[in-house]
Amino acid sequence: MGGMGKAGIVLNILLGIVVVGGASVGTYIYTNLSATLAETRAELTGTQERAQGLSDELKETKDYIARLETALSAERNKNGVFENQISKLTGTVGVLEKLSKTDPELLTKYSKVFFLNENYSPPALSPISEEYLYQKDRILTLHKSVEPYLENMLSAAKKDDIDLLVISAYRSFGTQTALKNSYKVTYGSGANAFSADQGYSEHQLGTTVDLTTAQVGATFSGFDTTDAYDWLTENAWRYGFVLSYPKGNTYYQYEPWHWRFVGKDLARQLHRDEKNFYDLDQREIDEYLAEIFD
């Protein structure tokens, strides 16, 4: 080691110090890192535990919500059933209430055999607008609830350039008797042949009108060959009116001018089935009574 000299020795010593010192520093750093790692691990474990706790809580909350939803839907179903029952009951009550307020005479058949009681009169009457009257100086009335349906029909006809006028509407038993007597005075006993015998019953209801045109007038002669009659045949049902005594009926003489209000439902049904009011059983007809003014 002769070549090494002093400087070499010092360097070695220094190197030794650096190596030993380095090792100490390394140990120090390692110890610290271990501690940090342990802490971090502990923290992580804590965090994992908390996460597990939260996850459990979340699951519980979800279960709770699911139970609430089940309960809510069960409650809703119950309410639905209840609502259905209520609406059914209300419907039944509604129909019964309507029926109790609706005059069964309104849809009763009157024929050669069945007559309306002479004391019968509608509960309330409304005048028909003058523009639809054949004789402007007369006042014609109709059942208060039926009159608007007539005006709707006549105004629709007018829009289609159809000339339809009312020549007769509500007639009391007394009026009818007087009318018939006046025919008898003029025509003798033959009056029965054309003056209404049973048809008057429908006029006494206040639901029935005799229609004509300015040209055809009061004799009704040829009324069933007019555009007005064709229009009625095609459209009257839409407004709840039907021809009571069509051609070939066995209930009364043919009266193409005599239209009775039976309600839109029944009129539509008759139109669809190509049937006449008087062809139906009374029991079948009565099913439409509650809805006559709907």
Segment contacting Zn ion (CB under 5 A): 54-62, 104-112, 245-253, 258-266? Answer: 258-266
For the CB of residue 170, give the shortest distance to Zn ion in the complex, in Å: 11
Site for Zn ion in 43-102 (CB under 5 A): none
The Cα 47–Cα 49 span in angstroms is 5
**The only residue of 165, 210, 216, 264 in contact with Zn ion, by rule CB under 5 A:** 210
Nearer to Zn ion, 146 or 290 (CB): 146
Nearer to Zn ion, 157 or 166 (CB): 166
Q: Does 224 bind Zn ion (CB under 5 A)?
A: no
For the CB of residue 167, give the shortest distance to Zn ion in the complex, in Å: 9
Q: Does 246 bind Zn ion (CB under 5 A)?
A: no
Segment contacting Zn ion (CB under 5 A): 14-22, 37-45, 57-65, 257-265? Answer: 257-265
Q: Does 143 bind Zn ion (CB under 5 A)?
A: no
For the CB of residue 140, give the shortest distance to Zn ion in the complex, in Å: 12
Segment contacting Zn ion (CB under 5 A): 72-80, 103-111, 182-190, 195-203? Answer: 195-203
Give the interface size with Zn ion as a residue count (CB under 5 A).
Answer: 3
The CA–CA distances, whole Å, from 5 to 12, 19, 246 equal 11, 21, 150
For the CB of residue 90, give the shortest distance to Zn ion in the complex, in Å: 39
Q: Does 199 bind Zn ion (CB under 5 A)?
A: yes
For the CB of residue 163, give the shortest distance to Zn ion in the complex, in Å: 19
Nearer to Zn ion, 165 or 290 (CB): 165
The Cα 215–Cα 213 span in angstroms is 5
Nearer to Zn ion, 109 or 258 (CB): 258
The Cα 243–Cα 260 span in angstroms is 6
For the CB of residue 244, give the shortest distance to Zn ion in the complex, in Å: 8
**Edge-to-edge strands, sheet with 241-243:** 165-168, 208-212, 258-261, 241-243
**The only residue of 109, 171, 258, 260 in contact with Zn ion, by rule CB under 5 A:** 258
Nearer to Zn ion, 223 or 231 (CB): 223
Nearer to Zn ion, 199 or 206 (CB): 199
For the CB of residue 205, give the shortest distance to Zn ion in the complex, in Å: 11
How is the chain classified by DSSP, letter by letter?
-TTTHHHHHHHHHHHHHHHHHHHHHHHHHHHHHHHHHHHHHHHHHHHHHHHHHHHHHHHHHHHHHHHHHHHHHHHHHHHHHHHHHHHHHHHHHHHHHHHHHS-GGGG----SS----TT---S-EEEPPGGGBSSTTS--EEETTTHHHHHHHHHHHHHTT---EEEE----HHHHHHHHHHHHHHHGGGGGGTS-SSHHHHHHHT-EEEEE-TTTGGG-TTGGGSHHHHHHHHHGGGGTEEESS-TT-SSS---TTEEEE--HHHHHHHHHHT--GGGS-HHHHHTTSTTTT-
Q: Does 263 bind Zn ion (CB under 5 A)?
A: no
What are the residues binding Zn ion (CB under 5 A)? 199, 210, 258
